Amino acid sequence: MNGKVILVGAGPGDSGLLTLRGRAALEAADVVVYDALVGQGVLAMIPPNARRINVGKRSSNHLVPQHEINQILLHEAQEGNNVVRLKGGDPFLFGRGGEELELLAEHGVDFEVVPGITSAIAVPAYAGIPVTHRDFTSSLHIITGHTKAKAEAQIDYPSLVKLNGTLVFLMGISAMPTIMEGLLAGGIDPDMPAAVLERGTTAHQRRVVSTVKNLVEDACAAGIKTPAIIVVGRVCALAGQFHWAEDRPLGGLRILITRPRELMSAFAGRLRALGAEVVELPSIATQAIPDNTALTGAFSCLDRYQWLTFTSPSGVRIFFEELRRMRRDVRCLAGLKLAAIGPSTARALEEHGLQIDLMPERYDAAHLGGALGVAANGARVLILRAKIGSPELTRALERAGVGYDDVPLYETVYACANAELVKDQLEQGEVDYVAFTSASTVKGFVGAMGDLDYSKLNAVCIGEQTAAEAQQYGMKIVTAQSATIDSMIDCLTGLSRLKEGGV
């Protein structure tokens, strides 16, 4: 039985511009066939269990020829797979989506199309250029810079000029001199505002606003490269007044975050809300310990303990999953006091209606153990955490003479599903900061990256133990003032201001 192919427009780069329908299609995919122009943030949304096929088309450099891409889609669907064809921008706007559907339709393969936000509108918007404005123009015209048959498109420039609208040229950077000459020969005002917009909607977007007669020279002086689009029209003059993307607190920063997938979304969402382009690379995963007899034993005699201690949100999540699996609920915790290593763990407990009794002033194992050693005062403590946890916690309890049972809930597994997609960016210096929220995330990241030159990496670490792990690899380290996500975000915002000031 045949599978299905869904053509999904990934948008122009910013992962926030992927449609809800597009994301849902990705999450259900067995196979994802993707282009070079799909943003890293969108690629990070591909499920770990989905097979990826990089067909890498960019301008005239095609990793896989179009006819072979068509055959790949057909073959994968005929194998019964749910296939997502992930394309930059919109599949039908110079995206060859129609060509890919022809073969599928010929063989009776089911398909759907999920439109995407086109760069022709989104990239100018992120550069402060409205493509229409009643005081300037009421029409928009989108033109390709090249065609299937010829390297340069055959364009009727005099007719375009007479339209007196905003002109957007896609895939036209290599043909920019010819396009500008054609417009001038077609009668356009040489002083008509024009812009070239590079890597639009990403953290490293750039714009050059000029005139038709000077755009080629100014773009060359700025070193503009593909991917980029050309915009011609009086609305380009509004960019100086309407620019906004780079003005946000984290605008212009590409930040790689390495938290476990289940903890990723809140951190990533806050960074994106502040303007950062976020690349998600979960470098560790947590797996509940199967047939956990130690936990079962602790549950059977909870009345032995007076304190229950958690050292991570993952521990809280897995604890309550196990509680449900054993068909028990929070009533079995009656009379127990709760200790949490920090605010994130405390919030995870609060989501289950539980208020903590103790949290140390500094959010690490040593200070948690020290605070518990005083508060427990001869009571017995049940510690629920990772199989390999910091010995500082139990050492502090032993020094205080507090009895405890250290029960492992989960194991930390090092895994980076998208490592190959990110390493090239790191090697080219295109990631501004890597955020590490534990020493384990550093270990998982390094294990996935291999022989990377870590001395060029700017690492923002949540605490001293994380920073110490990163230091072993020679990373440039900044440590958050306190071991919280809030403090990490404050740290990154401060670094952004320093970068903007050229410090």
156 is catalytic: no
Rounded CA separation 377/286 (Å): 32
Residue 459 three-state SS: strand
What DSSP element (H or E) covers 211?
Answer: strand 206-211
Q: Over the Cα atoms of the chain, what is R_g?
A: 27
Q: CA–CA separation, 437 vs 445, rounded Å?
A: 12
191, two tokens: 């002083």
Q: What length does the chain have? A: 503
Cβ atoms of 45 and 20 closer than 8 Å: no
CB atoms within 10 A of CB 467: 20
Q: At residue 328, what is the residue type? A: R
Number of H helices, E strands in the chain: 19, 22
Q: Which residues pair with 58 in a beta bridge?
A: 61
DSSP symbol at 93: S
Contact 262, 196 (CB under 8 A): no
Helix axes 439-449, 419-427, angle to 10 degrees: 90
Distance CA 426, CA 286 (A): 25
Instruction: Give 271's contacts (C-beta < 8 A, 6+ positions apart).
Output: 250, 255, 257, 278, 489, 492
User: 352-384 burial, b if ≥16 CB within 10 A, otherwise e?
Assistant: eebebebbbeebbbbbbbbbbbebbeeeebbbb
Residue of 67, 76, 95, 74 whose CA lies nearest to 10:
95
At a CB cut-off of 8 Å and minimum separation 6, what does 292 contact?
322, 408, 409
Cis peptide before 227 (omega within 30 of 0): yes
CB 461 within 8 A of CB 467: yes
What lies within 8 Å, CB to CB, of 184 at 6+ separation is 190, 212, 213
Residue 307 to residues 351, 366, 383, Cα–Cα distance (Å): 19, 17, 8
Instruction: Compute the distance between CA of residue 2 and CA of residue 108 in angstroms, rounded to an integer.
Output: 9
> Which of 4, 14, 57, 364 is flagged as catalytic?
57
Catalytic residue among 4, 14, 30, 35: 35
DSSP string, 156-168: -HHHHHHHTSEEE
Task: Verify whether residue 57 is a known catalytic residue.
Answer: yes
345 by DSSP, 3-state: which?
Answer: helix
| DSSP 8-state assignment for residue 253 | -
Residues with catalytic function: 35, 57
